[in-house]
Amino acid sequence: MGQIITLAIAGFFMWAGTISTASAADADSGKALFEKSCAGCHGADGKGNEKMAKLIGDKGLNIVGSETKKKSDEQLLKLIAEGAGKMPASKLSPAEQKQALGYARSLAK
Protein backbone atom coordinates (compact mmCIF):
# COMPACT_ATOMS: atom_id res chain seq x y z
CA MET A 1 0.00 0.00 0.00
CA GLY A 2 2.88 2.36 0.79
CA GLN A 3 4.17 2.01 -2.76
CA ILE A 4 0.74 2.88 -4.17
CA ILE A 5 0.58 5.95 -1.98
CA THR A 6 4.04 7.08 -2.98
CA LEU A 7 3.21 6.58 -6.64
CA ALA A 8 0.09 8.64 -6.11
CA ILE A 9 2.15 11.39 -4.55
CA ALA A 10 4.59 11.18 -7.42
CA GLY A 11 1.61 11.49 -9.72
CA PHE A 12 0.78 14.73 -7.97
CA PHE A 13 2.43 17.05 -10.46
CA MET A 14 3.54 15.12 -13.50
CA TRP A 15 2.95 15.79 -17.14
CA ALA A 16 0.20 13.44 -18.31
CA GLY A 17 1.24 13.17 -21.92
CA THR A 18 -2.35 14.05 -22.77
CA ILE A 19 -3.98 17.42 -23.30
CA SER A 20 -3.18 19.47 -20.22
CA THR A 21 -5.64 21.86 -18.66
CA ALA A 22 -2.80 23.54 -16.78
CA SER A 23 -1.79 26.53 -18.90
CA ALA A 24 1.47 28.48 -19.13
CA ALA A 25 -0.19 31.32 -17.21
CA ASP A 26 -1.00 28.85 -14.43
CA ALA A 27 2.65 27.82 -14.37
CA ASP A 28 3.82 31.41 -13.93
CA SER A 29 1.35 32.25 -11.19
CA GLY A 30 1.78 28.84 -9.58
CA LYS A 31 5.50 29.18 -8.87
CA ALA A 32 5.05 31.05 -5.59
CA LEU A 33 2.25 28.70 -4.54
CA PHE A 34 4.39 25.67 -5.32
CA GLU A 35 7.36 27.08 -3.46
CA LYS A 36 5.23 27.81 -0.40
CA SER A 37 3.05 24.70 -0.32
CA CYS A 38 4.86 21.93 -2.18
CA ALA A 39 8.62 22.44 -2.43
CA GLY A 40 9.18 21.51 1.22
CA CYS A 41 8.63 17.87 0.30
CA HIS A 42 8.92 17.82 -3.49
CA GLY A 43 11.93 20.14 -3.75
CA ALA A 44 12.26 23.36 -5.72
CA ASP A 45 13.08 21.35 -8.85
CA GLY A 46 10.36 18.73 -8.29
CA LYS A 47 12.92 15.96 -7.80
CA GLY A 48 12.23 15.60 -4.09
CA ASN A 49 13.63 17.15 -0.93
CA GLU A 50 16.56 15.03 0.20
CA LYS A 51 15.91 15.53 3.92
CA MET A 52 12.25 14.66 3.53
CA ALA A 53 13.16 11.57 1.51
CA LYS A 54 15.27 10.34 4.43
CA LEU A 55 12.35 10.95 6.76
CA ILE A 56 9.48 9.38 4.81
CA GLY A 57 11.18 7.62 1.89
CA ASP A 58 12.05 8.92 -1.54
CA LYS A 59 9.27 7.40 -3.60
CA GLY A 60 6.56 9.88 -4.42
CA LEU A 61 8.62 12.95 -3.67
CA ASN A 62 10.07 13.16 -7.17
CA ILE A 63 7.22 14.63 -9.19
CA VAL A 64 9.04 15.01 -12.50
CA GLY A 65 9.43 11.28 -13.24
CA SER A 66 7.78 9.14 -15.89
CA GLU A 67 5.20 7.53 -13.58
CA THR A 68 3.48 10.77 -12.79
CA LYS A 69 3.82 12.13 -16.31
CA LYS A 70 1.22 9.53 -17.22
CA LYS A 71 -1.37 11.05 -14.88
CA SER A 72 -4.03 13.45 -16.15
CA ASP A 73 -4.49 16.89 -14.65
CA GLU A 74 -7.80 15.72 -13.24
CA GLN A 75 -6.12 12.83 -11.42
CA LEU A 76 -3.43 15.08 -10.02
CA LEU A 77 -5.82 17.83 -8.98
CA LYS A 78 -7.85 15.24 -7.08
CA LEU A 79 -4.68 14.06 -5.34
CA ILE A 80 -3.73 17.63 -4.48
CA ALA A 81 -7.19 18.41 -3.13
CA GLU A 82 -7.66 15.21 -1.13
CA GLY A 83 -4.10 14.26 -0.25
CA ALA A 84 -2.84 10.67 -0.03
CA GLY A 85 -0.79 8.75 2.49
CA LYS A 86 1.52 11.17 4.29
CA MET A 87 0.64 14.01 1.93
CA PRO A 88 -2.11 16.13 3.49
CA ALA A 89 -5.05 17.57 1.61
CA SER A 90 -4.23 20.94 0.12
CA LYS A 91 -5.37 24.13 1.81
CA LEU A 92 -5.11 25.98 -1.50
CA SER A 93 -8.25 27.01 -3.36
CA PRO A 94 -9.11 24.98 -6.48
CA ALA A 95 -7.80 27.82 -8.67
CA GLU A 96 -4.54 27.92 -6.71
CA GLN A 97 -4.21 24.14 -6.93
CA LYS A 98 -4.49 24.38 -10.71
CA GLN A 99 -1.82 27.11 -10.76
CA ALA A 100 0.55 25.05 -8.61
CA LEU A 101 -0.03 22.06 -10.86
CA GLY A 102 0.72 24.18 -13.93
CA TYR A 103 4.03 25.21 -12.43
CA ALA A 104 4.86 21.65 -11.37
CA ARG A 105 4.15 20.41 -14.89
CA SER A 106 6.59 23.01 -16.22
CA LEU A 107 9.34 21.49 -14.06
CA ALA A 108 8.98 18.17 -15.84
CA LYS A 109 9.76 19.63 -19.27
- pLDDT tens digit sequence for 5-51: 444 454 444 433 333 555 666 567 899 999 999 999 999 999 989 88
CA distance linking residue 55 with residue 52, whole number of Å: 5
CA distance linking residue 23 with residue 30, whole number of Å: 10
- pLDDT tens digit sequence for 59-104: 778 899 888 889 999 999 999 999 988 889 999 999 999 999 999 9
What b/e readout covers 7-37, taking b as 16+ CB neighbours within 10 angstroms?
A: bbbbbbbbbbeeeeebeeebbebbbebbeeb
* Domains along the chain with CATH numbers: 2-107 (1.10.760)
What pTM did the predictor assign?
0.72
- The per-residue pLDDT for 33 is 96
- The per-residue pLDDT for 27 is 63
